[in-house]
Amino acid sequence: MTTRRNVLMLAGSALVLAGCRETAKPAAIAPDVLLAESDRGLLRLAPAGEQVLGAAAATFDGSYLYAARPGTLDRVDPASGTALGNTALADGWIPRVVSSDGRVCALSRTGASGRPAARTRTRLLITAPGGQTERDLAGVIEPDAFTSDGTGLFVLEWLPAAAPDHYRVRLLDLATGEVQPLNTRDKTPVPPGAEEEMRGDGRQAVLSADRTMLFTLYTHQPGHRHTRDLLSGRPGGAHAFVHVLHLIERWAYCLDLPHPFGEGPAAGHALAADGRTLFVADLNSGKLAYASPSSLAIERVVDVPPVAGSQAALALTTDGRILVGAGGVTVLDRASGRRTGRWELPEPVRGLALSRDGRRLYAGGTGRVTWLDAGTGTRSGEVAAAGLTALRHVV
């Protein structure tokens, strides 16, 4: 898994706030406020124009964000783009992870990477209402997500430190600085030697509707064995699964995905969740899995139109449709998975996001964001976004 998950944590240019430089407005402006990743750092696209936030990290839903500029860490209101507060910050720290309530931020000296460099120790900085705490940890440690109460930080410990090629998820106690194993699903500590070690990439992560769990989709896991396999002596296998972190109870669980999930390119997979269902799509093979967030079991798998060679994205409407981005946008009935429409776009999709009122669908593209009527698919406009790599949120 990369340490990006669905967190916006990007190194780039300095934070641009009210009173600072903004780029010239394009011919069209977005009617909503959008957050997007780019090769220039985090972008905020709004009716007032484009704002380059640069080195920044946001919560998984885009509700809170922190951005670094020389000598300062700003807590930024995503809706207005203004700084709500700031704290002194030594140069070189990069925001990486923000707690779900926006009160705590973890920073590191290195940016997000699919494969971190070898090192003997890792320094993390935790900023909270009570001040800043720096932790000097043994090995290659990458911040991943906060516990719901903000007292613990899930981290990825890459192994071996001298040549990292796999990792395990552990928990950093922010009060003591101790790195500990997670609990199993029955809330008991994972025994020594039974911690899962992963070798693949995390394609995407989303919060559960009640914000208690984080779902991360993994594909291509050569040599991976679940904790339950290690405890039982079963051989395990290489396939795709959803890694579940309970942010309150601090346990982890792997929800297996059936064949052929994970056999095709990772980019062809995506997931989304509502209060009743976790949806996982494999557009390489044309499969859509329905899973229960409560039982953490696959309920059924249906056939959907396959789209080869494209990045996949999912958006869930309030009227019972699934909007699937890959090339263009395929409209599916949520209950049956049956295709009910297809909306063409001028280029491959780099992320989908619905406006808060559900009326507009935004699709990231090559250097721009296009928006459509979410009911009819009629294209309504587009806004330039140079270097865009992924559209993430409508604020």
Instruction: Give tens-digit pLDDT for 213-231.
Output: 999 998 875 555 444 444 4
Q: Could you tell me what percent of the chain has a pLDDT over 70? A: 88
Tens of pLDDT, residue by residue over 94-103, are 999 999 999 9
pLDDT-derived band at 54, boundaries 50, 70, 90:
very high
Query: How many other β-carbons are positioned within 10 Å of the β-carbon of residue 21?
Result: 10
What pLDDT does 20 receive?
33
* Cα–Cα distance measured from residue 285 to residue 217, given in angstroms and rounded to the nearest whole number: 16
pLDDT of the residue at 273: 96
Q: Is the dihedral of CA 127, 130, 131, 133 positive or negative?
A: negative
Residue 174 has pLDDT above 90, yes or no: yes
What's the pLDDT score for residue 233? Answer: 42
Cα angle 302, 306, 307 (rounded to 5 degrees) comes to 145
- Let me know: does 309 contact 285? Beta carbons within 8 Å: no
Report, as an integer, the average pLDDT of 322-338: 94
In the chain, where are the structural domains located? 1-180
Helices within the chain (DSSP H only): 227-232
Looking at residue 221, what is its pLDDT? 57
Q: Find out whether 329 and 343 touch, Cβ atoms under 8 Å.
A: yes
In this predicted structure, the answer to whether residue 357 has a pLDDT above a threshold of 60 is: yes
Question: pLDDT of 124-152, one tens digit each?
Answer: 999 999 999 999 999 999 999 999 999 99
Least confident of 12-26, 201-215, 367-381: 12-26
Banded model confidence at residue 196, pLDDT cuts 50, 70, 90:
confident
> Taking the C-alpha atoms of 114, 348, 371 and 357 in order, what is their torsion angle to the nearest 10 degrees?
-50
pTM across the whole model: 0.87
Nearest to 278 by CA among 231, 210, 365: 210
Whether residue 296 has pLDDT greater than 60? yes
Q: Span 205-219, mean pLDDT?
A: 93
d(CA 320, CA 316): 7
**Three-state secondary structure call for residue 22:** coil
User: Residue 230: helix, strand or coil by DSSP?
Assistant: helix
**pLDDT: is 9 or 377 the higher one?**
377
